[in-house]
Amino acid sequence: MKGEKTERFGIVGHDQPRVDGMDKATGRTRFAGDLKVPGCLYGKVLRSPYPHARILDIDTSRAERLAGVRAVVTFRDSPNILFGAYNSGVKDELILARDRVRFVGDEVAAVAASDPSIAQEALSLIRVTYEPMPVCLSVAEAMAENAVKIHDVEQNIASHKVTVRGDPDAGFKEADLVLEDRFETDLQFHAFLEPVSCIAEYDTRGRFHLWAPSQNPSWCRIIFSEAMDLPISRFRTVQTPIGGAFGGKLEQKLYLIAFLLARKAGKPVRLENTREEEFQTSMPRVPMVIDLKMGMRRDGLITAKSHRIIGDNGAYSKYAPAVINLGTYRVDGLYGIRNIRNETILVYTNKMPTSAYRGFGNPQITFAVESLFDMMINELGLDPLETRLKNSARPGDTTAHGFKLISCGLRESFESLGRQMDYRGAGLARDKAEGVGFSGTSHVCGNRGFFPLFDGSTAFVRIDEGGNVRIIVGETDVGQGLLTAFAMIAAEELGISISRIQVDACDTDLSAFGLGTWGDRATFIGGNAVKTAAAQARKEIIEVAAGMLEANAADLVLRDDTVYVRGARNTGIAFSEAAAHAVYTRGGSPIMAKGTFIPDSEGADATFFGNISGTYAFGAQSCRVRVDRRTGEVEVLEFYAAHDVGRALNPMACHGQVEGSIAQGIGYGLMEQAVYKDGVMLNPGFLNYGVPTALDVPPVRSTLIETIDPAGPFGAKGVAEPAMTPTAACIANAIFDAVGVRIKDLPITPEKVWKGLKAQERGE
Amino acid sequence: MTRLEFHRPDTLKEALEILEKFPGSRIVAGGTDLIVLMKDLLVKPSALVSLSRVKEFSRIDFNADGLHLGPMTPLWRMEKHDRIKGTFPALFQAVISLAVPPIRNQATVGGNLCLDTKCIYYNQSRVWKRALTTCFKGGGKICHVAPSGKRCLGGLVAETAGPFSIYNAVLTIASPRNVRTLPIEDFFSGDGIKPNTLAPGEVVAGIRIPLPPSGAGAAYYRFSTRKALEFSRVNLTGAICLDERGRISSARLLVGAIGPAPVEVRKSLVPLIGQVPSEKLWSETAKGVAGEAVRLSRSPRLTPHLQAVVTVNTERIFQQAWREATGNSA
């Protein structure tokens, strides 16, 4: 591995502007909302204004009579089959509500018309008779003894799991300090700029075609098939460029509604969320109440951890069962905790369904663990950095949950922060105090837990007679720069310039089956598939060139767009010449190569034990904040981040991921908050839901730690999700360092800090 | 689809005639707020009358009398105007803290002053509002901000309202029948449903601010969740004037955004008069300010935390105004 680290590459490891950057910057990229299809109808969805109500009657007759209306659909047009996220174990949704609505925004009916304003008017003509029901707006209300049942489950519990590893009792006994506290986290919205949007068409052969910004085009067909009660073969997904996803563009109910409308109208139908609908239904981050207990030896070693997490599922489960289980156990590998008792309870409420968001449960639990860890470090008077280093996972470890760490740069990450951040003796001004906080992070790079039968990726490489290289994959660029990473990997492997390469978005009729982009899997797993396919293509084109040059293929190299005999560069032929020769002399057959990568992962058992990912990503962050002692306002002054990315394929893209993550983490930590009244979200828009602006994000100094992962493509791992995970905890710890106030619930608003400071003044 | 007439008259006279001819028509200045309201169907004008071609409406005049602003002056021109920055720092601070540069490029000073109140319960789409009972402003019988209250508590979020008040701006109001002048304090109605006293068909035709007397200093502060693209949750505009012996001859403070009009705190500032400025003096004075603002506004928007914000920043504002007054602003 050491050898490869120092190996020089022509493309990999160098800053590469996005291959799709120019089109995006000049407005040429056609997002789903830009697509024009002749004869396309415009759809609108009628949603519940009640957080919980019985539907007594739905009368669509007036809407159907409105001129320009081509289809009105209700539950009568859809199968009466409950479905849910794949392999989540919970099926609790219908495409359109049948006899009950469970949150404000629940989908009841939909209309397709020749014009959006007609569709909107038609919605107002649909008469739904509701009978309001009692409402549970918090997990506490929902779990109360006499609470109304939102679904037919006891205490509104959608999922309840307990996992024990090692001997937690003995671990706590061994501890010199046991600390226990409650931490709470709030909703967080993906707030991507491109709202969920699609065009659906039903063809004369009975196939549904969907153009949509889907994170998981192949995988979502499985859910379509289940919800529509039709075989997978009847669905085709064409992925359109994705204007931000962050876990929020997995399968959408909107797509299923579009199918119903397209089938009934016999025309293509466009459906698009308004921003308000995004905030009503876009499946934000699962809020959690985390009761956490940890034991620590006097020297700072963590001996045991137990948590009981109650997650707010919202009205339907989606991926929340997986978020609360997989996401919240992930943290245990960070500091090599061995004695563990983890309990998770997911509870229905009459709020919007919650689901996946960058980090997948990990930011929630990392906020709790890193906060409590910090409290213990302070209690024992230990050094925050030294103590984290002492506990940090190391390469070669197998964690309590069975994760095999084949590479791990956590210690190097903390050490890097220690060199950069002066954290001892923060400055103290009169009204304003400064403090420094730390937090670590670990994450998967793929997860077989979702789809035990399958892990991996397959890529196709096709080289035409002009020497253009087309790469077709099953993973998706969600804005993180995957197209660029794949183009770089292929260009490096083939020995050609990156401008020859185009990476296609997924079309399930053409691409190989893939799980898409989530769980930090795309670069690590998909990148390996592309690398393998490119290597195969190189072999084939060299063979063609060998015939042309009358040379032995083993003596040929392909570099700088030229195939030549090793050591005799001027004898070579151009890559494009070889490509043309291949096509013309082989009956039109282009070079077509296929590459498959299957990571060395295993499906987890019923207790979530197993090496679910081919490798794991690590990192650490530190920030300096200034707290106004009199108003509680927190200003983040600077952020340092060090992330083990395996190898930085495209350093500028890695830094970009870290910076973007920290911006989102600052929003999560300090600002973003859903305000509710009677089950209605009061701030469903960018004006009052405060995602940070450029002025709210400080300079981010990001360092990339290269551990050259043995399994990664050129040694690369993922970075997009782990970079978001530690940020909120880091800020909370810095605030404590500054003013001695510990805020245990997110977001850390000035009001909470101010109240903490007041309590401190009163000596509480 | 509803049709909308759009007029762009060249003169004020023409504009006033059109406004009279089309009942239910609205003036569009920069449109940064009106278009949003129209999208949410909160206003449904029969016609839009743009004043962008009325030449004298986008003039900035600075002379011995003071500053004259045409109502169509875009905010960016005010923030780039050195003499506005130097002479009316509180106004300058309010303008640069407002929204974001692209909005300030489009939004106008007259539009800002005439901004309707904002409320999280009212400024929502029609679809969204099905989920909550209609409030006073929508024609209902409740204020969700203060459910026991009897009036609309929509917040006046026009960031320039406080600074124009503190600088004693005088407005020129034109109608088809006459032109009148109106001191700024009579411009705000205190009614959240319609926060200004303009009669139908009337137009703000100019804003005049006298030059501040020597020895005067003013400052502006706003509190919001993030640093841009947000209306303030509370804002403060303060001013003091020092006599030739360096004692305070007058002091004013306005608390904005918590109700339908800026609230002027007076009683708490009485002890300042005749005193020599000091940090101690500010902190003594600031203690009563938030309580007085609560009593005057009767607004639950001024939470205990925001009261603390008001107290602390009253001190900071007077300190800054003092520096301004003594020419020590750098």
Q: What is the pLDDT of residue A708?
A: 97
Whether B97 has its CB under 8 Å from any CB of chain A: the answer is: no
State the Cα–Cα distance between residues B278 and A718, nearest whole angstrom.
57
pLDDT confidence band for B327 (50 / 70 / 90): confident
* The two structure tokens encoding residue A166: 């090692």
Please check whether residue A754 is in contact with residue A739, taking contact to mean a CB–CB distance below 8 angstroms: no
Is the pLDDT at A688 greater than 50? The verdict is yes
Cβ-proximal residues to B122 (8 Å cutoff; 6+ apart), any chain: B42, B135, B137, B138, B154
State the Cα–Cα distance between residues A295 and A546, nearest whole angstrom.
66
Is the pLDDT at B330 greater than 80? The verdict is no
Q: Tell me which amino acid residue B11 is.
A: T
Mark yes or no for CB contact B305/A751 under 8 Å. yes
Taking each helix axis from N to C end, the angle separating A527-549 and A482-494, rounded to the nearest 10 degrees, works out to 30
Nearest CA in chain B to A431: B312
Chain B from 141 to 160: CB within 8 A of any A CB: 144
Closest CA to B67 of B51, B82, B83, B90: B83
Q: Which residue has the higher pLDDT, A686 or A423?
A: A686
Give the H or E element holding residue A618. Answer: strand A616-628
Mark yes or no for CB contact A632/B231 under 8 Å. no
Please check whether residue A292 is in contact with residue A369, taking contact to mean a CB–CB distance below 8 angstroms: yes
Residue bearing tokens 């841009």: B228
Which residues of A fall within a CB distance of 8 Å from B130?
A: 49
Q: Is A723 helix (H, G, I), strand (E, B) or coil?
A: coil
Q: What is the pLDDT of residue A226?
A: 96
Mark yes or no for CB contact A695/B305 under 8 Å. no
**How many Cβ atoms are within 10 Å of A381's Cβ, its own excluded?**
7
Please check whether residue A281 is in contact with residue A354, taking contact to mean a CB–CB distance below 8 angstroms: no
Is the pLDDT at A58 greater than 70? The verdict is yes
Whether A310 has its CB under 8 Å from any CB of chain B: the answer is: no
- Per residue in A691-706, pLDDT tens? 999 999 999 999 999 9
Quick one: what percent of chain B has pLDDT higher than 90?
A: 92
Which residues of A fall within a CB distance of 8 Å from B312?
A: 431, 628, 630-631
Whether B131 has its CB under 8 Å from any CB of chain A: the answer is: yes
Quick one: what percent of chain A has pLDDT higher than 90?
A: 94
Is the pLDDT at A289 greater than 90? The verdict is yes
Please check whether residue B149 is in contact with residue B136, taking contact to mean a CB–CB distance below 8 angstroms: no
Q: What is the pLDDT of residue A430?
A: 59
Mark yes or no for CB contact B303/A751 under 8 Å. yes
Is the pLDDT at A395 greater than 60? The verdict is yes
Whether A571 has its CB under 8 Å from any CB of chain B: the answer is: no
- Per residue in B221-272, pLDDT tens? 999 999 999 999 999 999 999 999 999 999 999 999 999 999 999 999 999 9
Is the pLDDT at A719 greater than 70? The verdict is yes
* The two structure tokens encoding residue A631: 């108003």
Please check whether residue A33 is in contact with residue A278, taking contact to mean a CB–CB distance below 8 angstroms: no
pLDDT confidence band for B328 (50 / 70 / 90): low
Burial of A204 (0-12, 13-18, 19+ CB in 10 A): exposed
DSSP secondary structure of B33-101: THHHHHHTTS---SEEEE-TT-GGGG-EEEETTEEEE-TT-BHHHHHT-HHHHHH-HHHHHHHHTSS-H
- Per residue in A5-21, pLDDT tens? 456 799 999 999 999 99
Strand ordering across the sheet containing B26-28: B5-7, B47-50, B26-28
Say whether the ipTM exceeds 0.90: yes
Quick one: what percent of chain B has pLDDT higher than 70?
A: 98
Q: What is the pLDDT of residue B212?
A: 95
Mark yes or no for CB contact B227/A693 under 8 Å. yes
State the Cα–Cα distance between residues A312 and A331, nearest whole angstrom.
20
Mark yes or no for CB contact B226/A690 under 8 Å. yes
Which residues of B fall within a CB distance of 8 Å from A679?
A: 131
* The two structure tokens encoding residue A640: 């340092």
- Facing B228 at nearest CB: one of A431, A693, A754: A693
- What's the half-sphere exposure (Cβ side, CA atoms, 13 Å) at A99? 3
- Per residue in A585-632, pLDDT tens? 999 999 999 999 999 999 999 999 999 999 999 999 999 999 999 999
The end-to-end CA distance of chain A, in Å, is: 55
Mark yes or no for CB contact A675/B230 under 8 Å. no
A635, A682, A689, A746: best mutation site toward chain B, by most B Cβ within 10 Å? Answer: A682
Whether A117 has its CB under 8 Å from any CB of chain B: the answer is: yes
Whether A680 has its CB under 8 Å from any CB of chain B: the answer is: yes
Which residues of A fall within a CB distance of 8 Å from B308?
A: 630-632, 754
State the Cα–Cα distance between residues A59 and A62, nearest whole angstrom.
8
Residue bearing tokens 């107002």: A124
Whether B128 has its CB under 8 Å from any CB of chain A: the answer is: yes
Q: Is A11 helix (H, G, I), strand (E, B) or coil?
A: coil
Q: Convert A390-455 into a string of H (helix), E (strand) and C (coil).
A: HHCCCCCCECCCCCECCCCCHHHHHHHHHHHCCCCCCCECCCEEEEEEEEEEEEECCCHHHCCCCC
Is the pLDDT at A242 greater than 80? The verdict is yes
Nearest CA in chain A to B307: A631
- Per residue in A121-137, pLDDT tens? 999 999 999 999 999 99
Closest CA to A704 of A656, A657, A651: A651
| B47-50 and B5-7 strand pairing | parallel
- Per residue in B162-175, pLDDT tens? 999 999 999 999 99
Give whole-number Cα distances, B29 to A321, B6, B20, B84, B193, in Å.
51, 12, 17, 21, 20
State the Cα–Cα distance between residues A701 and A681, nearest whole angstrom.
36
State the Cα–Cα distance between residues A595 and A533, nearest whole angstrom.
4
State the Cα–Cα distance between residues A713 and A597, nearest whole angstrom.
10
- Facing A49 at nearest CB: one of B130, B144, B309: B130
Is the pLDDT at A685 greater than 50? The verdict is yes
Which residues of B fall within a CB distance of 8 Å from A275?
A: none
Q: What is the mean pLDDT of chain B?
A: 95
Whether A554 has its CB under 8 Å from any CB of chain B: the answer is: no
Taking each helix axis from N to C end, the angle separating A362-379 and A384-391, rounded to the nearest 10 degrees, works out to 120
pLDDT confidence band for A449 (50 / 70 / 90): confident
Is the pLDDT at A2 greater than 80? The verdict is no
Per-residue pLDDT, averaged over A30-49, amounts to 96
Is the pLDDT at A729 greater than 50? The verdict is yes
Is the pLDDT at B329 greater than 70? The verdict is no
Mark yes or no for CB contact A276/B225 under 8 Å. no
* The two structure tokens encoding residue A692: 């940070």
**Full-model pTM:** 0.96
Go through B20-58 and write b for each residue having 16 or more CB atoms within 10 A of its CB, e for each that does not: eebeebbbbbbbbbbeebbebebeebebbbbbbebeebb
Q: How many CB pairs under 8 A join A and B?
A: 71
Whether the ω angle into residue B23 lies within 30 degrees of 0, i.e. cis, is: no
Q: What is the pLDDT of residue B126?
A: 80
